[in-house]
Amino acid sequence: MGHGVALAHGDNYINHSKGLKSWLNTLDHKRIGIMYLIAILSFFLVGGIFAMLIRLNLFSPGSTLVSPSKYNQLFTYHGAIMVFMVIIPMIPAAIGNMVLPMMLGAKDVAFPRWNLASFYVYLSGAAIACASLFLNGVDTGWTFYTPYSIRTSTSAVWVLLGAFVMGFSSILTGLNFVVSIHKLRAPGMGWGKMPLFLWALYGTSVIQILATPVLAITLLLAALERIVGIGIFDPALGGDPVLFQHFFWFYSHPAVYIMILPAMGVISEVVPVFSRKPIFGYTAIAMATFGIALVSFVVWGHHMFVSGQSEFANFLFSLITMFVAIPTGVKVFSWLGTMYKGSLHFHAPMLYAIGFIFVFTIGGMTGMFLATLATDVHLTDTYFVVAHFHYVMVGGSLLGFLAGLHYWFPKFSGKMYAETPAMIAAILINVGFNVTFFPQFILGVLGMPRRYADYLPQFTTLNRVSTVGSWIIAAGFLLVLFYLIHALLRGKKASDNPWKALTLEWQSPSPPPHENFLVEPVVTDGPYDYRGAKAGPI
Amino acid sequence: MGSHEVAGEHQVAHHFKSALDEFEACKQAMWIFLVTEVLFFSGLFVAYTVLRVFEPEMVKAAHHFLDWRLGALNTVFLITSSLTMAFAVSASQRGDNKRVVRQLIYTLILACGFCVVKIYEYSHKFHDKLLPGAHFGNTELTANKAGLFFSVYFVMTGIHALHVVIGMGVILWVILRARKNEFSPNYFTPVEITGLYWHFVDLVWIYLFPLLYLVG
Q: CATH number of the domain that A502 lies in? A: 1.20.210.10
Strand locations in chain B (E): 6-7, 10-11
Query: Is A456 a domain residue?
Result: yes
Q: How far is the CA of B152 from the CAs of A360, A470, B143, in angstroms?
A: 42, 47, 16
Closest CA to A252 of A78, A75, A79: A79
What's phi and psi for B130, nearest 5 deg?
-85, 75
Interchain CB distance below 8 Å, A183 and B24: yes
Query: Is B183 a domain residue?
Result: yes
What three-state secondary structure class fits B184?
strand
Q: Do A389 and A380 form a contact (C-beta atoms < 8 A)?
A: no
- State the pLDDT at residue A10: 74
Closest CA to B135 of B146, B143, B144: B146
Q: Do B63 and B146 form a contact (C-beta atoms < 8 A)?
A: no
Query: Is B205 a domain residue?
Result: yes
What three-state secondary structure class fits A269?
helix
Q: Which chain A residue's Cα is nearest to B30?
A: A175
For residues B62 and A102, what is the distance between their CA atoms, to the nearest angstrom? 57
Q: Do A161 and A126 form a contact (C-beta atoms < 8 A)?
A: no
Interface test with B, best of A29, A209, A237 (most B CBs within 10 A): A237
CA angle A522, A33, A277 (to 5 degrees): 50
**Which chain A residues have a beta carbon less than 8 Å from that of B148?**
230-232, 237-239
Interchain CB distance below 8 Å, B36 and A112: no
pLDDT band at residue B9 using 50, 70 and 90 as cut-offs: low
Q: How many domains does chain A have?
A: 1
Query: Is A266 a domain residue?
Result: yes
> CB count, 10 Å around CB of B10?
18
Q: How far is the CA of B146 from the CAs of A170, A227, A229, A237, A240, in angstroms?
A: 36, 19, 14, 10, 14
For residues B22 and B31, what is the distance between their CA atoms, to the nearest angstrom? 14
Nearest CB partner across the interface for B148, out of A175, A231, A520: A231
Query: Is B114 a domain residue?
Result: yes
Q: How far is the CA of A230 from the CAs of A114, A249, A515, B146, in angstroms?
A: 34, 21, 51, 11
Question: What's the mean per-residue pLDDT of chain B?
Answer: 93
Element spanning A169, H or E: helix A156-183
Domain that holds residue B67: 41-213
For residues A264 and A268, what is the distance between their CA atoms, to the nearest angstrom? 6
Query: Is A256 a domain residue?
Result: yes
pLDDT band at residue B4 using 50, 70 and 90 as cut-offs: very low
Mean pLDDT to the nearest integer, B146-167: 96
Interchain CB distance below 8 Å, B144 and A101: no
Q: A107 CB near a chain B CB, below 8 Å?
A: yes
Query: Is A18 a domain residue?
Result: no
Query: Is B24 a domain residue?
Result: no
For residues A332 and A338, what is the distance between their CA atoms, to the nearest angstrom? 10
Query: Is A5 a domain residue?
Result: no
Query: Is A15 a domain residue?
Result: no
Q: For residue A410, is it left (φ>0), alpha (ψ between -120 and 50) or beta?
A: alpha
For residues B178 and B195, what is the distance between their CA atoms, to the nearest angstrom? 14
Query: Is B8 a domain residue?
Result: no
Query: Is B192 a domain residue?
Result: yes
Predicted complex ipTM = 0.91
**Which chain A residues have a beta carbon less than 8 Å from that of B28?**
178-179, 182-183
Query: Is A12 a domain residue?
Result: no
- State the pLDDT at residue A4: 44
Residues of chain A predicted below pLDDT 70: 1-9
Q: A224 CB near a chain B CB, below 8 Å?
A: yes
Interface test with B, best of A97, A109, A185, A228 (most B CBs within 10 A): A228
Domain that holds residue A427: 27-535
Interchain CB distance below 8 Å, B14 and A243: no
Query: Is B68 a domain residue?
Result: yes
Percentage of chain A exceeding pLDDT 90:
93
Q: What is the DSSP code string of A145-162?
A: -TTHHHH-SS-HHHHHHH
Tally C-beta pairs within 8 A across A and B: 113
Q: How many domains does chain B have?
A: 1
- Give the contacts of B80 (CB within 8 A, at least 6 positions apart): B110
pLDDT band at residue B1 using 50, 70 and 90 as cut-offs: very low
Query: Is B13 a domain residue?
Result: no
- State the pLDDT at residue A522: 93
pLDDT band at residue B144 using 50, 70 and 90 as cut-offs: confident
| CB-facing half-sphere around the CA of A336: CA atoms within 13 A | 9
Q: What is the CATH number of the domain that holds B47?
A: 1.20.120.80
